A and B are shown apart, each in its own frame.
Chain A
Amino acid sequence: MTALLELEHLDVAYRASAGPLHVVHDVSFSVEPGQVVALVGESGSGKTTTSSAVLGLLPSGGHIAAGEVRLSGIDLSSWSDRRLESVRGARIGYIPQDPVSSLNPVRPIGVQLADTFRVHRRGDRRTVRTRVLELLERAGLDDPALRARQYPHELSGGMRQRVLIANAVALQPELVIADEPTSALDVTVQRRILDLIDELRREHGTAVLLVTHDLGVAAERAERIVVMQHGRVVEQGATASILDAPAEAYTQRLLADAPGLGEHEFRRPCPPAYLRDAGDAAAENPVVLEASGLVKEYSVGRGRAPFRAVDDVSFRVLRGTTHAIVGESGSGKTTTARIVTRLVTPDAGRVELGGVDVTMLAGAAKRDFRRRVQLVYQNPFASLDPRQTVAEIVVEPLRNFGLGDRRARADAATRLIDRVALPAHLATSRPAELSGGQRQRVAIARAFALEPELVVLDEAVSALDVTVQARILELLEQLQGELGLGYLFISHDLAVVQRISHSVSVMRRGRVVESGPTEQVFRSPQHDYTRELLDAVPGRTLPAGKALA
């Protein structure tokens, strides 16, 4: 039997002024009919480029420089764009990474799905309409007739990804390429989406090429794993053998960094800096932040009960420790973070910083408060001014508060850049020249510039690859150990929370359903929702994962 998809010595290059730039070298692997193969690697490893090359959808300037891409034995690598159009959609389906930006915002869902049939001239208007509704229903969307009329912005991220999956399997292709299909979604949604792909695959015998940076996802879903680094395949084989006996150092590191795999030590409330120095300890309050009974309501129109985004939320952050708030989107965790950072005023409840009520601060007092509480955002691409250099960015808080002269600030920049383990020569670079991990380090350095007492990290590592994520978490732990400050860590990712936090509050629909020391909550969850969240962590239920410990 011939393989469904075979890549042989594939070499992808981009045209550049200094000659071709090779980004994928000598990549060979195959996908059998009905098989799930995971292509694993960090960003920049060439995994997405490889999968785009299969579809012939490389960004402009990219081309297959050598090697073959065979679909059922026929080489597509030299096919023109026009010729490949008959393969795309019909024989190879595509599920994109980010469901939010992957549907046309100005056309209804049903019309976009129907397009897939029309492009390949399958069926008349009526049969297409019936098929679209069937597909939406099969993809697990309630009320398909309504969904077909709705526009993308009226659907949640998970629902949009269901639409995109329906789109990918619409013409029952032999192969579906799923490029990080779940990395933009909540864990529980992630699990349901992966289950859906699995079900549809079984129904139609579709093969799946699953592109992911998360070895946990790959381990759980794929029969074979192909590990890529720097545009080359470093290792490939059956999933079990890769997990049990990773031959390459890179694979071992990926395994160690995958947050859901392996057992990590729980962080215990180790004696922080203030306890080591008994003299300081007497004078200081170990509670950095105390929030009690926070409530925030949003009006949803006249005559209707307001929506309670945050409902009676209380928690504490101790000095030198991390308190995590976990929950899915819509759970109210980000609103809570915004209340704590005083970007939003609560309708009830109080926030105390170092024993002083800061709930209603205004004017100069509020400005002073901003020095003591700093925020690191999720998206390291959008939270840095693209026109400033790294050195300017990290000392901007000092400049805003008029601290130090030009010279002192230059020294501070050097110190801060060094502190977050960025190479000194990056000081004059601009954000566009940095990788995602480096940008997040810059954002962290900026947050530390004013030596705050509390840093609020809002999904601060969620946009990063697992290996980069692991390095950033290490950095945060190290800085906390040195400076003894408190972290409020907002995340939807339980695996990361398990790693970084000392205590945790689990939020759902605005309420805290469970809270306590991280170890206790994770080892013996009391609430069903907590259990559901824990089960959804990819790789967690895997026996192989435990064997690694």
Chain B
Amino acid sequence: MAYLARRTGQALIVLAIAFTATFVMLQALPGDAILIRFESPELGLSPEQIADIRAAYGADVPPLQQYLHTLIGFLQGDFGTSVQYGTPVRELIGSALPDTLPLAGLGFLVAVVLAVALAFLSTLAPFGWLRRVLRALPSVFVSVPVFWLGIVLIQVFSFQLRLVPVIGADPVQALILPVLTLAIPISAPLAQILARSIDEVQLSPFVAVVRAKGAGPARVLWRDVARNALLPAITIAGVLIGELIGGAVVTETVFGRAGIGRITEQAVANQDVAVLQAIVILAALVFVLVNLAVDLVYPILDPRLKRKAVAA
């Protein structure tokens, strides 16, 4: 319990730092959203009118005051108003979340399944050459840019093979290619870590003992190696959650989907500070929660990490 409280405290500190750092960096950028949206000459707004707009968005006070104002707003669940859309940020994110959650969730799930399958197959596959090919695959995946992968997938599966329609796809069909695009680059480092960790565990003396019992390679891998090898991979999986955000930005843009990634891309282009601030905090929150979960799962998988009762 004390452990949980301490970890929660740490998580809050991480969030506070993320919030402050984002705020400082966004302030340090030259220009702002109001400048971009309202000061273009075509609108013909007078300096007084622009000053009024600034005042309406709370952008006319010194940065420290703005910081406190934003912070208090966040603590009360008010993320401010998007300059670009003129709607509250909360509504904006709330409406985009249902589009992105299935993409991110499925993307991560597929990534994990893909990574585990690759790592295990590259250990168990019947031929030496096949094992080597499977081993080399993740390195290829790592070096593939997400946007390029998305375009290639559309080209091959939609235009050449006509397996997935681009236009008039139902929601499930519309998810297939974006999920793959998101999953493949995340699965690659995971598969690499897992495969390396399997190799390492295979060399440990207890595996020799299990083999000396007469256990075959598949049994050794499933019953004895897998759980030991998963431990480092889970840590990496927690860190890779961060990749989902960057991945979502590119994937949603390439596939023309609405969602958090798309909003992020727009907000960056327009320096919509309030939106960016909220998205960073959202991302940090997910990241912190997932890693907290990872730490809590660890002792279940590895009994050595349970509180050690002092043995005589």
User: A103: CB under 8 A from chain B?
Assistant: yes
A52, closest chain B residue (CB):
B208
Residues of A within 8 A of B227 (CB): 106-107
Q: Are B219 and A119 in contact (CB under 8 A)?
A: yes
User: B211: CB under 8 A from chain A?
Assistant: yes
Residues 71-102 of A contacting B (Cβ, < 8 Å): 81-82, 85-90, 92-94, 96-98, 101-102
Given contacts A151-B303, A153-B303, contact A101 B205 (CB under 8 A): yes
Q: Are A106 and B228 in contact (CB under 8 A)?
A: yes
A44 smallest CB distance to B (angstroms): 19
Q: Please list the 4 inter-chain residue pairs (A to B) with the smallest Cβ-Cβ separation, ordered nearest first.
A: A94-B212, A89-B214, A88-B214, A89-B213
Task: Report which of A98, A105, A301 forms a contact with B228, defined as CB distance below 8 A.
Answer: A105
Could you give, for residues 173-216 of chain B, a 1 whenever the CB lies within 8 Å of some chain A CB and a 0 otherwise? 00000000000000000000000000000001110111111111
A86 to B216, CA, bound (A): 10
Residues 378-397 of A contacting B (Cβ, < 8 Å): none
Task: Report which of B214, B215, B302 forms a contact with A106, defined as CB distance below 8 A.
Answer: B302
User: A399: CB under 8 A from chain B?
Assistant: no
User: A57: CB under 8 A from chain B?
Assistant: yes
Mostly, the A contact residues are: loop
B228, closest chain A residue (CB):
A106
User: B304: CB under 8 A from chain A?
Assistant: yes
User: A127: CB under 8 A from chain B?
Assistant: no
Q: Are B209 and A102 in contact (CB under 8 A)?
A: yes
Residues 212-229 of B contacting A (Cβ, < 8 Å): 212-217, 219, 223-224, 227-228
User: A115: CB under 8 A from chain B?
Assistant: yes
Task: Report which of A81, A115, A301 forms a contact with B213, defined as CB distance below 8 A.
Answer: A115
Can you list 9 A-B contacts with CB-CB less than 8 angstroms, sorted by A residue number? Answer: A86-B214, A92-B212, A93-B212, A98-B205, A103-B206, A104-B210, A119-B219, A151-B304, A167-B213
Task: Report which of A81, A82, A167, A307 forms a contact with B209, defined as CB distance below 8 A.
Answer: A167
User: Size of chain B's interface in residues, with CB distance under 8 A?
Assistant: 24
Given contacts A153-B303, A300-B310, contact A102 B214 (CB under 8 A): no
User: Size of chain A's interface in residues, with CB distance under 8 A?
Assistant: 35
User: B297: CB under 8 A from chain A?
Assistant: no
Residues of A within 8 A of B206 (CB): 101-105
Residues of A within 8 A of B212 (CB): 55, 57, 88-89, 92-94, 96
User: B301: CB under 8 A from chain A?
Assistant: yes
User: B167: CB under 8 A from chain A?
Assistant: no
Residues 446-473 of A contacting B (Cβ, < 8 Å): none
Residues of A within 8 A of B205 (CB): 96-98, 101-102
Task: Report which of A88, A92, A301 forms a contact with B310, defined as CB distance below 8 A.
Answer: A301
Residues of A within 8 A of B213 (CB): 88-89, 115-116, 119, 167
Residues of A within 8 A of B301 (CB): 106
B303 smallest CB distance to A (angstroms): 4
Q: Are B310 and A104 in contact (CB under 8 A)?
A: no
Q: Are B216 and A82 in contact (CB under 8 A)?
A: yes
B227, closest chain A residue (CB):
A106
User: A154: CB under 8 A from chain B?
Assistant: yes
B211, closest chain A residue (CB):
A57
Could you give, for residues 102-142 of chain A, a 1 whenever the CB lies within 8 Å of some chain B CB and a 0 otherwise? 11111100000001100110000000000000000000000
User: A164: CB under 8 A from chain B?
Assistant: yes
A159 smallest CB distance to B (angstroms): 10
A98 to B223, CA, bound (A): 21
Task: Report which of A87, A104, A105, A151 forms a contact with B214, defined as CB distance below 8 A.
Answer: A87
Q: Please give 11 more A-B residue pairs, beta carbons under 8 A apart, in addition to A151-B303, A300-B310.
A: A55-B212, A57-B212, A93-B212, A94-B209, A96-B209, A102-B208, A103-B206, A104-B224, A115-B210, A116-B213, A164-B209
Q: Are A115 and B223 in contact (CB under 8 A)?
A: yes
User: B311: CB under 8 A from chain A?
Assistant: yes
A106 to B209, CA, bound (A): 15
B212 smallest CB distance to A (angstroms): 4
Residues of A within 8 A of B310 (CB): 300-301, 307
Task: Report which of A57, A92, A153, A154 forms a contact with B208, defined as CB distance below 8 A.
Answer: A57
Q: Are B304 and A153 in contact (CB under 8 A)?
A: yes
Q: Are B215 and A119 in contact (CB under 8 A)?
A: yes
A304 smallest CB distance to B (angstroms): 8
A82, closest chain B residue (CB):
B216
A57 to B227, CA, bound (A): 23
Could you give, for residues 281-304 of chain B, a 1 whenever the CB lies within 8 Å of some chain A CB and a 0 otherwise? 000000000000000000001111
B217, closest chain A residue (CB):
A81
A103 to B224, CA, bound (A): 10
Q: Are A119 and B214 in contact (CB under 8 A)?
A: yes
A93 to B209, CA, bound (A): 9
Residues of A within 8 A of B304 (CB): 105-106, 151, 153
A104 to B207, CA, bound (A): 8
A141 smallest CB distance to B (angstroms): 14
Residues of B within 8 A of A164 (CB): 209
Residues of B within 8 A of A101 (CB): 204-206
Q: Are A85 and B208 in contact (CB under 8 A)?
A: no
B230, closest chain A residue (CB):
A106
Residues of B within 8 A of A153 (CB): 303-304
Q: Are B208 and A104 in contact (CB under 8 A)?
A: no
A119 to B228, CA, bound (A): 20
B226 smallest CB distance to A (angstroms): 10
Q: Are B215 and A115 in contact (CB under 8 A)?
A: yes
Task: Report which of B216, B217, B228, B311 forms a contact with A104, defined as CB distance below 8 A.
Answer: B228
A106 smallest CB distance to B (angstroms): 5
A101 to B215, CA, bound (A): 18
A111, closest chain B residue (CB):
B223
